């Protein structure tokens, strides 16, 4: 925080700032390296952030928002140093075809459901984009092309955020309940969970193979932002808007290539991956801390219902396809 901002904090905000800093430091402690079980899984970190957001004022919202965005990207790139290109492509290729079908299907269904439910056209389009591709990243990329206003963006991001947080808690137990293999769970999580952060977090909670497959398929899915933005320009007839390309995905691919072909020392690769995983856990705390009661109230029943319907469609259909086609 800047000095000027710090001097204007109320006693409650000052207390919130120190609790905020303390929780971040606590999450960063390498308990496992000290021979202790780490209490801070991705789900626990997200839960802590949610509790913080709903009980205390956010002392530095701009820092929290920017850091969560860039730390997530850096963490994903870091995970690439623990992956082998050939093995990852082989294990992730089985989910690619359904990814293509599901992206197009969810977009079409979302627009139709939104029309039937009399939801604002741009809001339903944004929710569909977030569900079909990669949650908040897709909404943030498509929103400017769509020329969505602040309320439409806030409602869409709020809906996706709520369901994304729920997914991190329920998907790993569901995978265990149905005795899914790591390959099955990783593919399912990448397709059915909205944001990259929760996809990677859920995969990490399930196992090392699951997180590799989930990350690869999710980032491949995120590349659909580019064609979706181009189609959006045509549908809404605006050729002046800029497309936000998720460049960090290409850095992730580069990290995999370096790890596979450049002969990095194993200790170095392991250290980078360890730091990346810690960064992901902190990212989920930041994401949880960004929620507010105002965001929840702003969402409304119809947009939330639309997002839930689309989530059920993609979650259930992808589950059956994955269980039938992947061992």
Q: Output the pLDDT for position 93.
A: 58
> Which 3 state secondary structure label does DSSP give 2?
coil
* Closest CA relative to residue 92, chosen from 242, 194, 214, 178: 214
Dihedral over alpha carbons 117, 122, 123, 128 (to 10 degrees): 80
Q: Output the pLDDT for position 316.
A: 94
- Is there a contact between 55 and 23 (Cβ–Cβ < 8 Å)? no
- Give the residue carrying structure tokens 């856990």: 281
Buried b / exposed e over 49-78, threshold 16 CB at 10 Å, is bbebbeebbbbbeeebeeebbebbbbbbbb
24-33 pLDDT, tens digit each: 999 999 888 8
Q: Output the pLDDT for position 2.
A: 45
Interacting residues of 114 by C-beta distance below 8 A, sequence separation 6+: 120, 121, 123, 124, 125, 127, 128, 306
Q: Which pair of tokens denotes residue 155? A: 């409602």
Structure pTM? 0.77
Phi-psi domain of 204 (left: phi exceeds 0; alpha: psi -120 through 50; beta: other): alpha
Helices H / strands E in the chain, number of each: 17, 0
* DSSP H or E stretch at residue 120: none
Instruction: Measure CA 154 to chain center.
Output: 16
Q: Output the pLDDT for position 5.
A: 44
* Closest CA relative to residue 197, chosen from 291, 280, 255, 256: 280
The Cα–Cα gap between 301 and 299 comes to 7
The Cα–Cα gap between 188 and 182 comes to 10
230-281 pLDDT, tens digit each: 888 877 766 666 666 677 778 888 988 998 888 889 899 989 989 988 988 8
Q: Which residues of the chain carry a pLDDT beneath 50?
A: 1-6
Q: Which pair of tokens denotes residue 236? A: 């809404």
- Beta-strand ranges (E) seen in 160-266 are none
Phi-psi domain of 171 (left: phi exceeds 0; alpha: psi -120 through 50; beta: other): alpha
| Number of C-beta neighbours around residue 315 at 10 A | 20
DSSP at 121: H
The Cα–Cα gap between 285 and 280 comes to 9
């Amino acid at each position: 925080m800047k000095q000027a901002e710090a001097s204007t904090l109320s006693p409650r905000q000052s207390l919130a700032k120190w609790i905020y800093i303390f929780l971040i430091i606590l999450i960063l402690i390498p308990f496992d390296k000290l021979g202790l079980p780490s209490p801070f899984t991705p789900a626990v970190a997200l839960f802590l952030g949610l509790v913080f957001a709903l009980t205390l004022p956010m002392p530095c919202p701009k820092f929290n928002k920017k850091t969560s965005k860039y730390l997530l990207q850096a963490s994903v790139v870091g995970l690439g140093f623990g992956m082998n290109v050939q093995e990852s492509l082989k294990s992730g290729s089985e989910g690619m075809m359904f990814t293509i079908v599901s992206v197009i299907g969810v977009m079409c269904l979302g627009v139709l459901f939104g029309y039937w439910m009399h939801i604002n056209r741009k809001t339903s389009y944004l929710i569909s984009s977030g569900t079909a591709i990669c949650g908040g990243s897709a909404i943030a990329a498509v929103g400017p092309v769509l020329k969505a206003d602040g309320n439409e963006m806030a409602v869409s991001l709020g809906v996706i955020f709520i369901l994304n947080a729920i997914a991190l808690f329920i998907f790993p137990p569901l995978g265990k309940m149905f005795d899914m293999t790591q390959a099955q769970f990783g593919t399912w999580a990448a397709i059915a969970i909205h944001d990259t952060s929760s996809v990677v977090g859920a995969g990490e909670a399930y196992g090392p193979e699951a997180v590799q497959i989930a990350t690869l398929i999710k980032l491949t899915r995120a590349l659909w932002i580019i064609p979706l933005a181009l189609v959006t320009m045509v549908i809404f007839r605006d050729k002046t808007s800029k497309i936000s390309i998720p460049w960090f995905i290409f850095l992730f691919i580069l990290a995999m290539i370096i790890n596979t072909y450049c002969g990095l020392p194993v200790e170095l690769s392991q250290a980078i991956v360890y730091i990346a995983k810690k960064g992901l856990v902190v990212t989920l705390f930041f994401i949880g801390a960004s929620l507010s009661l105002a965001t929840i109230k702003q969402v409304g029943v119809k947009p939330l219902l639309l997002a839930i319907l689309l989530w059920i469609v993609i979650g259930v259909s992808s589950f059956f396809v994955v269980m039938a086609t992947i061992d």
